[in-house]
Amino acid sequence: MPCIEARGLRKAFGTTIALDGINLRLEEGRILGLIGPNGAGKTTALNAILGLTPYQGELRVLGRDPWNERDLLMRDASFIADVAVLPRWMRVSQALDYVAGVHPRFDRAKADSFLARTSIHSNSKVKELSKGMVTQLHLALIMAIDAKLLVLDEPTLGLDILYRKQFYDSLLNDYFDRSRTIVVTTHQVEEIEHVLTDLMFIHHGRIVLNCTMDEFESRYVEVTVKPEHLAEARALKPIHERQALGRSILLFDGIERQRLAALGDVRTPSIADLFVAVMGSSAVPAQGAA
Amino acid sequence: MNTQSNAMSEAFESQRAIPGVMAATRPLYWSVRRELWENRSLYIAPLAVAAVILFGFLINTIGLPHRLLDLWGLDPAEQRKHVALPYDMAAGLMMLTGMIVGAFYCLDALYGERRDRSILFWKSLPVSDLTAVLSKATIPLVILPAIIFSVTMATQWIMLMLNSAVFLAKGMSVVGLWSQVAFFQSSLLLLYHLYAVHALWHAPLYGWMLFVSSWARRAAILWATLPVIAIAALEKILFNTTHFVGFLGYRLAGGGEDAMTAPGNMPIDPTTHLTPLRFLGTPGLWMGLLFTGLCLLAAVRLRRSRGPI
């Protein structure tokens, strides 16, 4: 059973189409990065997956219909919307008590041991904690839940780099194992690059790129072309070209690495480079679509 | 291999723990506790009012025996008025406090969680919208009457002790005082009144406010009251009648006369004057409860689809 399966997922707000017929299949044990510009439909897609918004089309998450079975789904799925949703009046101990009370898969000892490594006191109120500490608390709550699916929507928004790094380190080292599935959206693409197993670009409510990271590494090549080879390189139809320090950097899709090595310095592009290439050139929106 | 079998046995354990009564009542129980954590005014406001009542009573009671001596020649009903009146006033004030606290609680219950975005956290947990709304309805219909009852009882008991102390200090008998205050009878009466009138009869008012708080995008208090005022004004302008106002007045102040017969002479005896059967036979009660149910159902549906504002 796939963890998430969507067919023709559509959602419109009035005349604005947020999701325009998305097809998606995510197996368990994957870490999917959902990347897109603001307003691309990322959050709408996640909300549909979490049963927070109604939709048209077919969608099964862990075999359930999220819109009609949200409470059942949440026994096996959990999410962090963004850093600001923990109620400010709540004490840390109350948050632990409450989640332990309502969640059959919550391991209180695990949450306590995670919090013991931070400077968070169990008697503090959420509003007394710094933004980074609130995120640590939320992460402690989520990581102590034995969930099959974890959805993170901009989980590190507004955090400084130390907390951001710590967040993903904790997630990978203490939480992720091969049986769990994680879906994450973020604007700080470079920070999750090495974490992902799957990559998806979404733009104007459509999926414009969907591949595994292995495919990504073998398909896309970035070449800093020597000036004398520029015409030759352009003839190979790069999907994007940019200038840096007076050199032309061309991005190719599906051209052999050895062939390109003759034209200049070859490297695998970063996700951000590919993102700019795919999003920036609206003339080729479906270039990378799998 | 090992981790897999561990995971399987864990899954089996929790599968076994999920079904049954626990799954239904545990989230409700914790959600009600959560409401009490968040809304400390539910018990702080009645306690504060009780403190004010006790302070006023203390000042007043010092001069009471003196005034009573002047009244000693009067009939017992007249005496009772002076002795027991503060107790009745205290109970009345506490009930009024309960209504105000309940109204403000309901108007914020499903609105505040959307405004501070915490609804996204609550919805990330396996608690259904039905459980969430029911836990919020439990507060004015079950918890608040219990709080008001307990605080009123404690207040009246302290008042009686103060009264007795002053009486004894002046060398007066407390027998008359105790029989006139009729502490245990009045406590039964209060409990019945709170649940019959303040919970069941007023339920549609709370249901309406919960519905509005689940629906409004801003200023829930205005949305809850302005349409009501508008309907009353429109009726007055168009038909020059006040049926709607009368209807509301009956809902706010009525109910009590069906729940018990108020005899001319006090104190009310709970064994003879309570009329629960007549109360349960009032069509208005059942119409009100039906309206409450519809409001709560609408609130459940709205909570499912409404996100943070």
Q: Is A127 on the interface with B (CB under 8 A)?
A: no
Q: In sequence order, what DSSP letters do the residues of B242-296 get, joined into one string?
A: -HHHHHHHHHHH-SHHHHB---SSSSP-HHHHB-HHHHHT-HHHHHHHHHHHHHH
Q: Which pLDDT tens digit goes with each residue over B216-265?
A: 998 888 999 999 999 999 999 999 888 888 888 888 887 777 777 765 54
Whether the predicted interface score ipTM is above 0.90: no
* C-alpha–C-alpha distance, residues B17 and B142, integer Å: 28
Residue B253 pairs in a beta bridge with: none
Smallest Cα–Cα separation from A183: which of A97, A72, A66? A66
Task: Grade residue A287 by pLDDT with cuts at 50, 70 and 90.
Answer: very low
Pairing assessment for the beta strands A16-26 and A198-203 based on DSSP bridges: unpaired
CB contact B243 to A (< 8 Å): no
Using a CB-CB cut-off of 8 Å, the residues of chain B touching A81 are 117, 120-121, 124
A138 vs B contacts (CB less than 8 Å): 121
Rg (C-alpha) for chain A, rounded Å, is 21
Compute the average pLDDT of residues A2-7: 93
Sheet holding A206-212, edge to edge: A77-80, A149-153, A181-185, A31-35, A198-203, A206-212
Query: Which residue of chain A has the CA closest to B131?
Result: A71
In which domain, by residue range, is A73 found? 4-204
A165 is a domain residue: yes
Is residue A176 domain-resident? yes
Asked if pLDDT for residue B7 goes beyond 60, the answer is no
Cβ atoms of B196 and B276 within 8 Å: the answer is yes
Count how many Cα atoms sit within 13 Å of the Cα of residue A62 in the half-sphere of its side chain: 25
Residue B280 lies in a domain: yes
* A102 closest CB neighbour out of B7, B27, B37: B27
Both A97 and A25 in one domain: the answer is yes
* Residue B9 belongs to some domain of the structure: no
Q: How far apart are CA B234 and CA B112, in angstroms?
A: 31
A14 and chain B in contact, CB less than 8 A: no
DSSP single-letter state for residue B198:
I
pLDDT band at B187 (very low <50, low <70, confident <90, very high): confident
Please answer whether residues A277 and A251 qualify as being in contact, where contact means their C-beta atoms are separated by less than 8 angstroms. yes
Instruction: Give me the pLDDT at residue B123, please.
Output: 93
Q: Are residues A198 and A219 in the same domain?
A: no
Count of domains in chain A? 2
Question: What's the confidence (pLDDT) of residue B101?
Answer: 96
Predicted local confidence at residue B266, as pLDDT? 52
Q: Mark whether A130 and A234 lie in a shared domain.
A: no
The answer to whether the CB of A221 falls within 8 A of the CB of A259 is no
State the Cα angle at B75 between B69 and B80, rounded to 5°: 75
Verify whether the Cβ–Cβ distance B18 to A75 is below 8 Å.
yes
Of A180, A204, A228, the residue that ends a domain is: A204
> How many domains does the structure of chain B reveal?
1
From A146, A173, A204, give the residue that closes a domain. Answer: A204
Query: Does the structure show a pLDDT above 90 at A107?
Result: yes
Q: Is A92 helix (H, G, I), strand (E, B) or coil?
A: helix
Residues A121, A40 share a domain: yes
pLDDT number for residue A161: 87
pLDDT of residue B156 exceeding 50, the answer is yes
Q: Which residue of A68, A79, A85 is the best one to mutate when testing the B interface, meaning the one whose CB has the most B CBs within 10 A?
A: A85
- Tell whether B135 is within 8 A of chain A (Cβ): no
Domain of residue B162: give its range. 31-305
Between helices B220-239 and B203-215, what is the axis angle to 10°?
Answer: 120
Contacts of B72 (CB under 8 A, 6+ apart): B79
The average confidence (pLDDT) of chain A is 88
Instruction: Grade residue A103 by pLDDT with cuts at 50, 70 and 90.
Output: very high
Most confidently modeled range among A236-250, B3-17, B95-109? B95-109
- Domain end marker among A160, A179, A204: A204
Gap between the Cα atoms of A133 and A84, Å rounded: 11
